[in-house]
Structure 1
Amino acid sequence: MNSVHNNLLLQIMFLYMFIQSNLSLPTKQTVILALKTQQISSGSLPKAPNKLSFHHNVSLTVSVAVGTPPQTVTMVLDTGSELSWLHCKKTPNTPSAFDPLHSSSYSSIPCSSPTCTTRTRDFTVPVSCDPKKLCHAILSYADASSAEGNLASDTFRIGNSGLPGTVFGCMDMFSSSNTEEDSKTTGLIGMNRGSLSFVTQMGFPKFSYCISGRDSSGVLLFGDASLPWLRPLNYTPMIQISTPLPYFDRVAYTVQLEGIKVSGKLLSLPKSVFVPDHTGAGQTMVDSGTQFTFLLGPVYTALKNEFMRQTRGVLRVLNDPNFVFQGAMDLCYLVELSRTSLPPLPTVSLVFRGAEMGVSAERLMYRVPGMVRGGDGVHCFTFGNSDLLGIEAYVIGHHHQQNVWMEFDLAKSRVGLAEVRCDLASQRLGVAE
């Protein structure tokens, strides 16, 4: 799921490495990719084709090689989407795009193919046949952007592993509120549990990532993370249902949120508010394609009120009813520009079945870029109201996954969490600069 626009651009570049020691699997070798984040201004965007700027908040991106001979493309890592897609060249000299005409292994998928009729929630509009009898698809996202083009297949390479015949969308039409920035993006890599997702097509039973909020480093790992220094993971089971429901995404990484604590105090809410209703609305999804965390209205209001109560006299509330950051975050504060750090803040803990995720210090606040009120900067609480976005779900964004080892175990249908210094994890794996 792509999240709502803001003016911050962040670039994440992956450097490939291949580990063949005690990280190997019986049938596949583990692939480790180094992660580097770099905050850039819109006026200094790099033009190299293997670098990506992306305006849908802060996004995680991975560089892979596609086609024969290989073309380097950079794709947003999205655990909330199924179908991967690339900007495909329609005219010469198109920047940051994949050129299918220069790949001998590229193949268009006809609309008569069973792949064309594979059901995925990514297709908000049913697939159709174009005039050339090719499979035509339209993808839409929560930020109102969309991509349109044909389904195709080609060879994708991760590390030393090549996967021929990988299905993806070769998109040549786009709609967005920021066309200039979108023209520089290369695509999206879908990582949910659907049959067309990249991780499913690769055949790895699990993958992990660790995002550093300290020194802009991190790591993405495909395969088994048998790392002796990694703390024991606390696992929470993925919630699965057999009956299709209109508002329940059955291929998302859905876990069960059971409560929220503020400085150890559990919010006084019935557990029923965290359980999906008869329509499927109210599931809790772990989504790397969304920056912040969004909660259904009643839970968001309870958290907001308790956080305000515990920070009274510590933080100054921005009393401006006309300002709602990203359309869903209405709790913002004024912080003196002269301050080099925020005052001590209460820890917010998301309580899952079998595991907890603590959110503390700077991860609780986000400085709104370029917004100054007098001598103050504006910092907003990093939890939002999903009701204001029209999303019938709880969404755990990657901002709150910083310095948490996140393992997605598809074989055992569970998500593992462990607090870890992600910059140190990268160094131990030999992928930090």
Structure 2
Amino acid sequence: MASPLKNFIHFFLICTIHFISSSTAKTSTRPKGLILPVYKDLSTHQYITEIKQRTPLVPVKLAVDLGAEFLWVNCEKDFTTSSYKPALCNSAPCKLSKSIACTTECYSAAKPGCTNNTCALFPENTIAPIQTSGSLGSDAIEVQSGAGSVTVPNFLFVCGSTILLDKLASGVTGMTGLGRAKISMPSQFFSAFGLRRKFGVCLSSTPSKGSIFFGEFDSSTAPLTHTPLLTNPVSLSSTKEPSAEYFIGVTAIHINGKAVHVNPALLSIKNDTGHGGTKISTVDKYTVLEASIYKAVEHAFVKELNVPRVRSVAPFGACFDSKKIGTAYSGPAVPTIDLVLQSKDVYWRIYGANSMVQVSKDVSCLGFVDGGVDSRTSIVIGGHQVEENLLEIDLKASQLGFSPLVYRKQICANFKFAAKA
């Protein structure tokens, strides 16, 4: 008969082996891709995703900012965790984030967002817009992969304050940045799991679920057109660092195949100031055009549509009686708008479903906004024009792939991202 001591040792060894094997399984299995659900909040037109963060894990809703540099979360209210680690000044995380400020003394009890000798960054609500100072730190987050959920134990983020939540959708407590920066969400996922430096975005035009996929995925069901990603050498926050936003080279605009006269100088990015050019945004609700470009596009569109206008509805200029506009497989039967890229044969075509906005039962408007004469970026392709398009941002190849889905086979709510083996 075995002694109680031997029974205990046997039980202890079994538990130890089980623990080691379980831990090894969690750390040795690398996902081929990660996926975040994204839905459109109809009251704000913001694109919202959700992760799990902290210990114990809690769901955290975040507004998606394609061009921002990092994830920030409000740490002032209901932020409880046992796994938060502040990033100490001059540490590797601080250098990675390119922080140039250090909080030497915090005037309250130590907590996430308030610790001494911690490097500082400047989280921004780009929707309000509001910017404050915040502290860099890390905590555990959990996201979905093709085979279940995976955890990043030390995901870098910035603790923001409650004031930053102004104008964000109900329940949202932060924003996640997908831009070209060392501590953006894509960069940290690529590093943590050895994924190819590529991610896809498919935003739904309804509250139905769209997706953001990180890693190599199969886009054969939606063949992509490719164009180079351009770098704006001047960021909004610093003249020493390039912008984290995604720019592409629009060289001309065609409406119904006819060229629109625009000042070509506005389509290029000025190296000294960073003004001009074309970027893609998930923060701007609609495409914003520099004043002279807007006027030229509006004039050409109205002429080609040849439907009497009605009173404008802010923020739009050209509005029409929707009963006098027919329908097509691609939405309202209106002139196509082509953003011509590196050649006349490569263009981003905007059909009626993306160019028009139904503002009331009987009125629809051209969904472009006049950005004024002093707009920093000449063309900002906004959320409404991005919806139901698959975007593939390949950072290794420095190119954008894009494909309209709703006009071909499916919409973003039905598109299935599949990781490549």
**How many angstroms apart in 2 are the aligned matches of 1:80 and 1:134?**
25
SS of the residue aligned with 1:363? helix
Q: How does 1:113-152 map to 2 (within 5 A)?
A: 113-116=91-94, 128-131=103-106, 132-140=116-124, 141=126, 143-152=128-137
Of 244, 253, 257, the match for 1:260: 253
1:111 is matched with 89
Shift in Å, 1:406 = 0.4
Greater CA deviation, 397-406 or 420-429?
A: 420-429
2:110 is matched with none
Structure of higher CA gyration radius: 2
Give yes or no for the alignment of 1:346 onto 2:335.
yes
Give yes or no for the alignment of 1:158 onto 2:147.
no
Q: 1:167 to 1:384 in 2, by over 3 A?
A: same
Q: How does 1:23-422 map to 2 (within 5 A)?
A: 28-37=31-40, 39=42, 55=44, 58-90=45-77, 94=78, 99=79, 101=80, 103-116=81-94, 128-131=103-106, 132-140=116-124, 141=126, 143-159=128-144, 160-175=149-164, 178=167, 184-203=171-190, 204=195, 205-213=197-205, 216-231=208-223, 233-240=224-231, 246=239, 249-277=242-270, 278-312=272-306, 314-318=307-311, 324-325=314-315, 329-333=316-320, 335=322, 344-353=333-342, 355-368=346-359, 378-387=363-372, 390-421=375-406
**How many angstroms apart in 2 are the aligned matches of 1:142 and 1:219?**
21
Q: 1:165 to 1:223 in 2, by over 3 A?
A: same
Shift in Å, 1:175 = 4.9
Greater helix share, structure number: 2
Report if the CA contact (8 A) 1:146-1:176 is conserved: no
SS of the residue aligned with 1:174? helix
**How many angstroms apart in 2 are the aligned matches of 1:161 and 1:425?**
24
* Aligned-partner residue type, residue 208 of structure 1: G
After superposition, the C-alpha distances for 1:157-198 in whole angstroms (9 at most, x for unaligned) are 2212222221111122315764xx667322111100111211
* Aligned-partner residue type, residue 61 of structure 2: T
* Aligned-partner residue type, residue 32 of structure 2: Q
Instruction: State TM-score, norm by structure 2.
Output: 0.74
Instruction: State TM-score, norm by structure 1.
Output: 0.72
Report if the CA contact (8 A) 1:295-1:393 is conserved: yes
* Aligned-partner residue type, residue 213 of structure 1: S
**How many angstroms apart in 2 are the aligned matches of 1:360 and 1:229?**
20
Greater strand share, structure number: 1
**How many angstroms apart in 1 are the aligned matches of 2:64 and 2:123?**
16
SS of the residue aligned with 1:276? coil
**How many angstroms apart in 1 are the aligned matches of 2:38 and 2:166?**
28
Greater CA deviation, 387-396 or 205-214?
A: 387-396
2:6 is matched with none
Report if the CA contact (8 A) 2:87-2:119 is conserved: yes
1:48 is matched with none
SS of the residue aligned with 1:60? strand
Shift in Å, 1:227 = 4.1
Q: 1:343 to 1:285 in 2, by over 3 A?
A: closer
Q: 1:343 to 1:105 in 2, by over 3 A?
A: closer
Q: 1:171 to 1:353 in 2, by over 3 A?
A: same
Shift in Å, 1:388 = 6.3
Report if the CA contact (8 A) 2:317-2:369 is conserved: yes
**How many angstroms apart in 2 are the aligned matches of 1:218 and 1:175?**
25
Report if the CA contact (8 A) 2:36-2:50 is conserved: no
Shift in Å, 1:402 = 2.1
**How many angstroms apart in 2 are the aligned matches of 1:214 and 1:423?**
14
Q: Cα RMSD between the aligned structures?
A: 3.5
Q: 1:227 to 1:68 in 2, by over 3 A?
A: same
Report if the CA contact (8 A) 2:290-2:375 is conserved: no
SS of the residue aligned with 1:298? helix
Percent of residue pairs bearing the same amino acid type: 22
Q: 1:218 to 1:274 in 2, by over 3 A?
A: same
SS of the residue aligned with 1:257? coil
SS of the residue aligned with 1:163? strand
After superposition, the C-alpha distances for 1:105-156 in whole angstroms (9 at most, x for unaligned) are 2112233435446566xx9x96654423333443333633335432211122
**How many angstroms apart in 1 are the aligned matches of 2:181 and 2:364?**
37
Q: 1:306 to 1:247 in 2, by over 3 A?
A: farther
Q: Which runs of 5+ in 1 are unaligned?
A: 1-25, 42-54
SS of the residue aligned with 1:202? helix
Greater CA deviation, 398-407 or 130-139?
A: 130-139
* Aligned-partner residue type, residue 82 of structure 1: E
2:10 is matched with none
**How many angstroms apart in 2 are the aligned matches of 1:143 and 1:167?**
24
Report if the CA contact (8 A) 2:85-2:137 is conserved: yes
Report if the CA contact (8 A) 1:366-1:382 is conserved: yes
**How many angstroms apart in 2 are the aligned matches of 1:176 and 1:427?**
31
Q: Which runs of 5+ in 2 are unaligned?
A: 1-28, 107-115
